[in-house]
Amino acid sequence: MYGLPEKKSKRGLAWGQMLPSCQFKGCNNSRGLGSMWGRMSGYQLNDDSWFCSTECLEAALGQQLSMYFHLEPRPQPVRTTMPMGLMMLARGAITDPQLREALRLQQSTGERIGSCLMQLGLINEEDIAAVVATQWGCPVFPADSVEPACSLLLPLSLVERYCMLPVHLVAQGRRLFVAFCERVNHSALMAVEQMLGCETEACIVLEPKFRQVLEFRKHDLAGEVTVHRPESSQETARIIGSYAQQTGAEGLRVRAVEGNIWARLLCHNSHLDLVFEEPPS
Ligand SMILES: [Zn+2]
């Protein structure tokens, strides 16, 4: 298992941490021996709250997740970057007649302008990566420094959905370079930071390298389960709770990436990712 080093607390444990109380408001297990047992068998959620039992965890999660089940369909984000074809023109990589030729090809094939320009032999993958990097204000990551094993830090379903690949860890594992191909997804990046407990740096990798690492990543599907998101937050919470109980998880982190729910169950020396994919609108 390829993992980040666990955060080490410099301070000793406070009494409140050693004897936590259940954060579920409806908990009726907060006194007596039940809670003593709960302290040994409960769940730490998102590093900031603790629940004494699977029942309390499920009930609280059901409430927390409900907001993601009533979101209006999101409008397409407004494109704020200059289109690829115009940027190639501005860089002097192509001429105006060449751009027109590529646009005609795009009309007949429906492919992206970048791949049309490549088909015409006018630019290469490095040109595309350089332009995408300029569009999103981040660097092109050197292909030689990509660590394929880093890709195991994220569940494959999210890697594929957002075309994002963790490629390199620095600062004793506290900073992670996450590579994209076409567009940087900041909401996915934020979820990665919160789930992995590290900082992230967005970067761009050349598409052939991306595809190569993606193939590597596809060979390891252990440690993750991807299902369609259930209709209700309560049902989603129930499934998470059930997995938490079955795996003997000590803690878990749960975040939404747009309408997808990503839960990571932290077990002794390993983890299990559950991804609940948003139904297509
Ligand atoms: Zn409780």
Among 63, 50, 45, 46, which Cα is nearest to 18's? 50
Give, as residue ranges, everything with CB less than 5 Å from ion ligand 1: 22, 24, 27, 29, 52, 56
Domain residue limits, the chain: 16-71+222-277, 84-123, 143-218
* Eight-state DSSP code of residue 153: G
pLDDT band at 243 (very low <50, low <70, confident <90, very high): very high
Q: For residue range 26-51, what is the model confidence (pLDDT) as tens digits?
A: 898 755 445 555 556 789 999 889 99
What is the Cα–Cα distance from 74 to 192, expressed in whole angstroms?
21
What is the Cα–Cα distance from 230 to 253, expressed in whole angstroms?
19
Average pLDDT across the chain, whole number: 87
Contact between residue 199 and residue 176 where contact means Cβ atoms under 8 Å apart: yes
Q: For residue range 209-221, what is the model confidence (pLDDT) as tens digits?
A: 999 999 999 998 8
* Eight-state DSSP code of residue 141: P
Interval between CA 68 and ligand 1 midpoint (Å): 24
Interval between CA 230 and ligand 1 midpoint (Å): 24
**Beta-carbon contacts of residue 233 (< 8 Å; ≥ 6 apart):** 61, 62, 63, 64, 65, 66, 68, 69
Interval between CA 130 and ligand 1 midpoint (Å): 52
Tokens of 46: 């998102």
Interval between CA 12 and ligand 1 midpoint (Å): 25
**Residues pairing with 276 in the sheet:** 227, 261
Interval between CA 27 and ligand 1 midpoint (Å): 4
Interval between CA 105 and ligand 1 midpoint (Å): 62
Interval between CA 58 and ligand 1 midpoint (Å): 10
What is the Cα–Cα distance from 58 to 252, expressed in whole angstroms?
12
Predicted structure pTM score: 0.83
More confident residue, 174 or 76: 174
Interval between CA 45 and ligand 1 midpoint (Å): 13
pLDDT above 90 covers a percentage of the chain that reads 69
Interval between CA 63 and ligand 1 midpoint (Å): 14
* Eight-state DSSP code of residue 81: S
Q: Where are the alpha helices (DSSP H) in the chain?
A: 15-18, 33-41, 54-65, 84-90, 96-109, 113-119, 125-136, 156-162, 186-196, 207-218, 233-247
Q: Does domain 143-218 have CATH number 3.30.300.160?
A: yes
Burial class (CB in 10 A: 0-12, 13-18, 19+), 117: buried
Among 247, 270, 271, which Cα is nearest to 54's? 247
Interval between CA 56 and ligand 1 midpoint (Å): 5
Tokens of 184: 């940087």
